[in-house]
Amino acid sequence: MPHQPVLLVDGHLDLAFNALYHRRDLTLPVHSLREREDPVRSGISDHPDSLERRQGPEGGHYTATVSLPALRQGRVGIVLSTVMARVQVATPRLDNAMRTQVAAYAEAMAHLHYYEALERQGELAIIRSLADLEACVLAWDNPDEHTPVGLIVTAEGADPILDPDQVRLWWERGLRSVSLTHFGANTYGHGTGTRGGLYPPAYPLLDALADVGMVLDLSHASDLSFRQLLEYWDGPVHASHANCRALLRGQRHLSDEMIQALAQRQGVIGMVFAEQMLSPAWDFDQRDGNYATATRPMMAVVDHIDHICQLLGNARHVALGTDLDGGYGRELAPIDYDTSADLQRVPELLRRRGYGEDDVHAICHGNLLGLFRRAWSGSAAADSPRRA
């Protein structure tokens, strides 16, 4: 008898960045997004009535794989998606970073406005409480093509939070998870690709985050920042999108010691689907891998899931955090993946590896749902009936 589709929770997407930076209408099917895009920007204006024929800047091209219809088709009913704008030490090339915290705040607020607009249209349902979470899970028991995708707003890097006094504002607007750092050295400390730890302003910010009940994301922390965060923070933790250093080279990934430390705190680790997070040919620190095309299938993600489960002796601390279309697209996604609809193949890949149904459901949705249920259990909605 064929298995019923499994609810999937994706612990890390950059939907607003994807929509605003790449100018994509994520309410459309993926094939429509691809038809609208050209690998090279041919001019300032291509409208037939335009008098402008100046050449615009050429940019990197990443073929779209994520859209809201594709997420629905793949039964990805709940996602953690980012407001993302990091401050980077001034260099000639900032890539997608900002030069000031104020600019980062403005950019991240634009991301938040995007989510609120999609919620107004019925495309998303922003999850702000335990009651919202349970209502969304219930809706995805029997979804249709118009069921809103549930969204937990997370900040990838805390640069947009201008100071501890502003934490309450972000909480009231729906922010529920925060990582202090991102790539490089940021406002509050050292992140991916750097040596060093937290800066002094990180600690009052952490106090303010704890006061409102925020969940702390340890993805993109430098090794020293990671240790300092766990030493200081006693609230709920996860690593929304991070794979295993035992299988790959580079500080971006989690060592076995880090994985065990997260598990001891009831944390959950989301698996990334990018080639640079799956292929042993890549060294994330040296960037000496093949940047052109992907080589690994989705079963390589299961290799990382399996490593964590074998290390810990259970399947209670691993989830999905695909990061799909977050700075890369189809070119560096798994070779047997085309759109978000293909994520529904993950449960079968887990079964093929020998995982039973309880563990399949835990990995696909139960562990992340449990993380936020525990984090929000102090609310009056804690007695709501739980499904899935």
Token digits for 312? 């810990």
318 Cβ neighbours under 8 A, 6+ residues apart: 268, 269, 270, 271, 305, 308, 309, 363, 367
C-alpha to C-alpha distance for 293 and 279, rounded to whole angstroms: 11
Tokens read off for 242: 């991070």
Those residues with Cβ within 8 angstroms of residue 45's Cβ, 6 or more apart along the chain or in another chain: 52
Most distant pair of Cα atoms in the chain: their distance: 66
Q: How many residues does the chain have?
A: 388
- Residue in this structure with the two tokens 């739980």, named with its chain if needed: 386
> pLDDT tens per residue, the chain (388 residues)?
678 999 999 999 999 999 998 999 999 999 999 998 865 554 555 556 555 544 544 455 689 999 999 999 999 999 999 999 988 766 666 567 778 899 999 999 999 999 999 999 999 999 999 999 999 999 999 999 999 999 999 999 999 999 999 999 999 999 999 999 998 899 999 999 889 999 999 999 999 999 999 999 999 999 999 999 999 999 999 999 999 999 999 999 999 999 999 999 999 999 999 999 999 988 887 765 555 689 999 999 999 999 999 999 999 999 999 999 988 899 999 999 999 999 999 999 999 999 999 999 999 999 999 999 999 997 433 333 344 5
User: Looking at the domain 8-38+57-379, which fold is it?
Assistant: TIM Barrel (3.20.20)
